[in-house]
Amino acid sequence: MNKDAYLPPSEVPQSAIDDFAERLHRHLQNLIPADFEAFGARVTAIVDDMVPPNARDTYRTPFYVIGLATFEVGNLGQKIRRYQFVERYKFFVDMPDTEIGMAFHEHCYEVRNAEFYGILERGEALIRFAAALAAELDSGDEKAPSKYTRNFRRKFVHRLRERHRRTHAHERPSLVSRMLQIGEIKTKEERQVLERFLRNTYSTVTAAFEAIQEKLQEDERIPSMRDPVTFQKWYLQRVDEEAATMWHLFTDALSAAVKMPNDTSGSSNCEATQKG
């Protein structure tokens, strides 16, 4: 991996996560009437699934319930932010041999695809929790969790599909999966088979790539892989944009779930990415 291609993560800064969690906490606190004592059975059941049995009595007051919600929002924000780092591991790890390096690249690919599924599931659960809180305070949108799931699946259908392919044996592997699973070449015959496969694959991918490029504006075109440094920098930026999109999908849906006004101060790089 060429170290000159490295770019630090550019999206979902910690300050944006902290700011959103703080605004959510303040908004929920402001919704609670002075005489409000405890949430009902629905919220209590959700909380009981989130905390250890010996801590449940503590999480019966509105203060602790709201604190739990905002704490988990911060945790998911960290998970989304750290997604950007997975693709960057390879810049900091020197592999002792080719086989370990190939296993490491395949593992990173598995982790990235798995993260989408985890963020989707945890995001929907948190939005459902927030909507239940708000509903008991006469404020919220209980359709927000399903809207989030629908929008997330539509945006990241290829990532979720790839995770499914690599998990279930009945699915046909994608081209990327096949490339990652190529073993160490030990014989002349193996090399000949691989070279034939790569030649066929290269011609197919190149034709598809050129057809896509022709349909794009000049500033949207993908850099050539013949310039690996430029291509890798471009790829890292796309990874960061995925994190930004996940963060926006989550925060927009959660804000809708509790009817919290959107922040108009423009606190992160994410909005610029969405428009770019």
Per-residue pLDDT tens over the stretch 259-270: 998 774 444 455
Count Cα neighbours of 119 within 13 Å in the Cβ-side half-sphere.
Answer: 31
pLDDT at position 201 is: 62
Sign of the torsion angle spanned by Cα atoms 166, 171, 177, 183: positive
pLDDT at position 176 is: 53
Q: Which amino acid does the sequence have at 157? A: V
70 touches 260 (CB < 8 A): no
Q: Is the pLDDT of residue 178 over 70?
A: no
The string of pLDDT tens digits covering residues 139-166 is: 889 999 999 999 999 999 988 887 656 5
Please give the model's pTM, rounded to 2 decimal places: 0.80
Q: How far apart are CA 116 and CA 47, in angstroms?
A: 24
Find the range with the poorest average confidence among 75-89, 92-106, 247-261.
92-106
Q: Which amino acid does the sequence have at 107? A: H
How much is the average pLDDT of 69-79?
Answer: 97
Find the range with the poorest average confidence among 49-53, 56-60, 75-79, 224-228.
224-228
pLDDT at position 276 is: 37
Q: What percent of the chain has pLDDT over 90?
A: 54
- What residues contact 209, with CB distance under 8 A and at least 6 apart? 222
pLDDT classification of 103: cutoffs 50, 70, 90: confident
pLDDT classification of 76: cutoffs 50, 70, 90: very high
pLDDT at position 203 is: 64
Q: How far apart are CA 196 and CA 184, in angstroms?
A: 16
pLDDT classification of 108: cutoffs 50, 70, 90: confident
Sign of the torsion angle spanned by Cα atoms 5, 247, 161, 205: negative
The string of pLDDT tens digits covering residues 196-250 is: 666 666 566 666 666 766 666 565 667 776 788 988 899 899 999 999 999 999 9
pLDDT at position 93 is: 87
How much is the average pLDDT of 6-17?
Answer: 96
Report the candidate in 250, 253, 258 with the shortest Cα–Cα distance to residue 270.
250
How much is the average pLDDT of 179-183?
Answer: 52
**DSSP code for 265:** S
Q: Give the DSSP letter string of 154-222.
A: HHTHHHHHHHHHHH-TTSPPPHHHHHHT-----SHHHHHHHHHHHHHHHHHHHHHHHHHHHHS-GGGPP
Q: How far apart are CA 91 and CA 232, in angstroms?
A: 11
